Amino acid sequence: MQNSIPLAERMRPTSLDNYIGQKHIVGQGAILRNAIESNILPSIILWGPPGVGKTTLANIIAHQLKRPFYALSAINSGVKDIRDVIDKAKSGGLFAQNNPILFIDEIHRFSKSQQDSLLGAVEKGIITLIGATTENPSFEVISALLSRCQVYILKHLDKDDLLEMLSLAIKTDSFLKTKNILLTETEALLRLSGGDGRKLLNIFELVVNSIGGNTIEITNEKVSHIIQQNIALYDKAGENHYDIISAFIKSIRGSDPNAAVYWLARMIEGGEDPSFIARRLLILASEDIGNANPTALVIANNCFQAVNVIGFPESRIILSQAVTYLASSAKSNASYMAIDTALETVRKTGDLPVPLHLRNAPTKLMKDIGYGKEYQYAHSYTNNFSEQEYLPENIRGIKFYDPGNNAREKEIREYLKKLWGEKYNY
């Protein structure tokens, strides 16, 4: 009879030796493994996509260090729950070797006040915090707390990791090892997993149960057919997260507000974090619209601020307004291309010297050797412009910013051409 506990939970490892993936931080000799094995563990933030082992790693750390372990979910916990854990930790004595580990899943969903309530206990060593987040902690974790934590980035599991996970499940799981499972094809399983180990095992279990019998052959066709029949399980749970956000961004970039608002609705209905959506709009406003319509960035920033104040369901209206505005806007990636081209030039040419006339000259010696000499203060000239060179000698004449072919940037192009002549005659 099939075990009622999900396969992903049955296969959860209990030691670093059985932990699959993330070798860059927990492999032999890696930095986090060394900290664990030496029992000198700071408070940490585990940042990575779903299903890559953040919760599992937190449990392994507590088990290996033999420390009391408390787990809270930011979705349904508040300041009172945090204080209860801290009070229990205090009762064990300050700075004890076995000070408890407090694991907070989805810490990015905690408000500022909730995160503030952790500060004192983390700073004094009353608890060791392990926070897990799928979002960039630079945006979602307050700076005071972030500065007291080490951030470790977890990556999508690669093909070898996922195949190892499948093989281990078939060989060791009490239910699966009673079956004769033939992995004839694995491409569909791996593709649908998207590097998410939990998703892989959930899909695999669904496929095995759907085929039934003692001999089970896994093929791409069978996997695709079974998942298609059960697609609601994966859409509603956010399993198509990365595909949907990709379609969303590409629809806005492609100036199709109908498609953009559809994918927005899919994300809202799937329970996506409104802050995540709004942050992607901020990026898009510069990357794909830029100076073709500078107001787009203002709209996106106001949207980001508003959804963080209001939240669902009302913020759906603000998101829709921003999405349809951005999708209907003129597009340009000229600013995006400019900085990437400039960065590539910096990497190739290194630290080129700043021209003498542009250097700061706070001391007499610097003035004597020519720092700042012959610099022309633009505001002292007609139209607040003086033609002088601002780039290092070695890269004079190189072009980074090429204004886009839209009304706004055509004006910028003509203005620069009027000032600089051939230098900006693209």
- Say if residue 96's pLDDT is above 80: no
- Say if residue 86's pLDDT is above 80: yes
Q: Interior CA angle at 299 toward 399 and 279, to 5°?
A: 80
Q: In this predicted model, what pLDDT tens digit does every residue of 22-31 receive, in sequence order?
A: 999 999 999 9
User: What's the gap between Cα 343 and its chain centre?
Assistant: 22
- If you average pLDDT over residues 388-417, what whole number do you get? 88
**Residue 315: how many other CB atoms lie within 10 Å:** 20
CATH second-level architecture of 241-328?
Answer: Up-down Bundle (1.20)
Model confidence band, residue 241 (pLDDT cutoffs 50, 70, 90)? low
Phi then psi for residue 130, to 5 deg, are: -120, 110
**Least confident window among 160-164, 230-234, 277-281, 305-309:** 230-234
SS (H, E, C) 138-150: HHHCCHHHHCCCE
Model confidence band, residue 238 (pLDDT cutoffs 50, 70, 90)? very low
Q: What sign has the CA pseudo-torsion 303, 307, 310, 311?
A: positive
Model confidence band, residue 135 (pLDDT cutoffs 50, 70, 90)? confident
Q: How far apart are CA 22 and CA 14, in angstroms?
A: 15
**Residue 169: how many other CB atoms lie within 10 Å:** 22
CATH second-level architecture of 22-153?
Answer: 3-Layer(aba) Sandwich (3.40)
- Higher per-residue confidence, 2 vs 226: 226
Please report the pLDDT score of residue 139 as a whole number: 79
Model confidence band, residue 337 (pLDDT cutoffs 50, 70, 90)? very high
195: Cβ contacts below 8 Å, ≥ 6 apart? 49, 51, 52, 155, 156, 157, 158, 162
Please report the pLDDT score of residue 147 as a whole number: 92
Please report the pLDDT score of residue 229 as a whole number: 67
The bridge status of strand 215-218 relative to strand 101-105 is unpaired
Residue 232: HSE in the Cβ half-sphere, 13 Å Cα cutoff: 1
Residue 341, burial from CB neighbour count under 10 angstroms (0-12, 13-18, 19+): middle
**Residue 15: how many other CB atoms lie within 10 Å:** 9
In the chain, CATH 1.10.8 covers 159-236
Q: In this predicted model, what pLDDT tens digit does every residue of 206-218 receive, in sequence order?
A: 999 999 888 999 9
Task: State the residue for tokens 């020519």.
Answer: 370
Phi then psi for residue 407, to 5 deg, are: -55, -45
In the chain, CATH 1.20.272.10 covers 241-328
In the chain, CATH 3.40.50.300 covers 22-153
Please report the pLDDT score of residue 240 as a whole number: 59
Q: How far apart are CA 317 and CA 248, in angstroms?
A: 16
- Say if residue 94's pLDDT is above 70: no
Tell me, yes or no, if the pTM score tops 0.85: no
- Say if residue 410's pLDDT is above 50: yes
Please report the pLDDT score of residue 69 as a whole number: 92
**Least confident window among 16-25, 93-102, 247-256, 316-325:** 93-102
- Say if residue 389's pLDDT is above 90: no
Q: How far apart are CA 13 and CA 26, in angstroms?
A: 14
356: Cβ contacts below 8 Å, ≥ 6 apart? 370, 371, 372, 373, 374
Task: State the residue for tokens 């801290």.
Answer: 86
Q: Please name the fold of domain 159-236.
A: Helicase, Ruva Protein; domain 3 (1.10.8)
Model confidence band, residue 281 (pLDDT cutoffs 50, 70, 90)? very high
- Of 31, 26, 82, 35, nearest in space to 53 by CA: 26
Mean pLDDT of the chain: 87
Please report the pLDDT score of residue 233 as a whole number: 46
**Least confident window among 49-53, 219-223, 293-297:** 49-53
- Say if residue 182's pLDDT is above 80: yes
Q: In this predicted model, what pLDDT tens digit does every residue of 191-201 receive, in sequence order?
A: 888 788 998 99
Is 205 in a helix, a strand, or coil?
A: helix
- Higher per-residue confidence, 250 vs 113: 250
